[in-house]
A = this chain, B = another copy of it.
């Protein structure tokens, strides 16, 4: 999962949400958040009253280059100022707040963001400070709350991880990668004809070698073999390799008998 291909991305055409960190304390966490955003193709970060000011060398070191690739981080004195141009605001909170406000999972929020962004709205996600989270007055500025369902006995996420999960849900909601695929490289998946040809070749070789000791059992054994080999979803190349194995094994056996 680690990798080193950190090539320069194209000038960001980012229509994702703006990520706003309110009162972040550790530069390292701001950097980790920037890295997580960039992993998910989200590039616009705003800071409200960061404890150690801005720019912050610790943030730059921890961002693994993400901060250099993003548009400049914008810094604001208050949450309301950071939200001035935003149409729909999501506040992330770990604990229930005594507020009547829609509560979304990160996945539900991601779908909501895509819908709003498609219809021209500008969205933002608020993340609170490391220990205390968002103040209730900040949550009250938001239209929706995002709460990530986690192990209730161990739900403490650090800031960078929280940003990663929320941003990753946004990226996944817009991702068309099929959940399962079988890349076959230069070789094509084998045709049914080639498979049956292989099965028959194998069954003949097994027959010659005396594998089917009880003739009445042969049909069910053959079915089981075909089921097993069918599940392997062989490529044309693998069918050729299998033919080669049969030749060698059957040949060697003959040679030594």
A97–B60 Cα distance when bound, in Å, is 32
- The reply to whether A1 and B102 form a contact with Cβ atoms under 8 Å apart is no
Residues 160-199 of A, flagged 1 when their CB comes within 8 A of B and 0 if not, give 1110111010011001011111111101000000000000
Query: Which residue of B1, B38, B65, B111 is within 8 Å of A151 (Cβ)?
Result: B38
Chain B binder among A88-96, A200-208, A210-218: A88-96
Query: Which residue of B8, B66, B151 is within 8 Å of A40 (Cβ)?
Result: B151
- The reply to whether A69 and B154 form a contact with Cβ atoms under 8 Å apart is yes
| Number of identical protomers | 2
Residues 5-24 of A, flagged 1 when their CB comes within 8 A of B and 0 if not, give 11111100000000000000
A108–B104 Cα distance when bound, in Å, is 22
| CB closest residue in chain B, given A232 | B100
Q: Does A120 contact B (CB under 8 A)?
A: no
- The reply to whether B4 and A131 form a contact with Cβ atoms under 8 Å apart is yes
Query: Which residue of B131, B150, B172, B181 is within 8 Å of A107 (Cβ)?
Result: B172
- The reply to whether B1 and A36 form a contact with Cβ atoms under 8 Å apart is no
Residues 89-128 of A, flagged 1 when their CB comes within 8 A of B and 0 if not, give 0001111101011111101100110000000000000011
* Residues on the B chain within 8 Å of A185, using CB: 98, 100
- The reply to whether B64 and A1 form a contact with Cβ atoms under 8 Å apart is no
A151-B2 in contact given A177-B105, A185-B98 (Cβ < 8 Å) = no
- The reply to whether A129 and B40 form a contact with Cβ atoms under 8 Å apart is no
A40–B132 Cα distance when bound, in Å, is 22
A253 to chain B, nearest CB (A): 27
- The reply to whether B100 and A179 form a contact with Cβ atoms under 8 Å apart is no
A25–B39 Cα distance when bound, in Å, is 22
Q: Does A3 contact B (CB under 8 A)?
A: yes
Q: Does A149 contact B (CB under 8 A)?
A: yes
A156-B102 in contact given A40-B150, A172-B107 (Cβ < 8 Å) = no
A127–B3 Cα distance when bound, in Å, is 12
Q: A residues near B, CB below 8 A?
A: 1-10, 36, 38-41, 64-66, 69, 92-96, 98, 100-105, 107-108, 111-112, 127-133, 148-151, 153-162, 164-166, 168, 171-172, 175, 177-185, 187, 235, 238
User: Can you list 12 A-B contacts with CB-CB less than 8 angstroms, sorted by A residue number?
Assistant: A1-B162, A1-B166, A2-B156, A2-B157, A5-B155, A5-B156, A10-B153, A38-B151, A103-B182, A105-B175, A148-B168, A164-B164
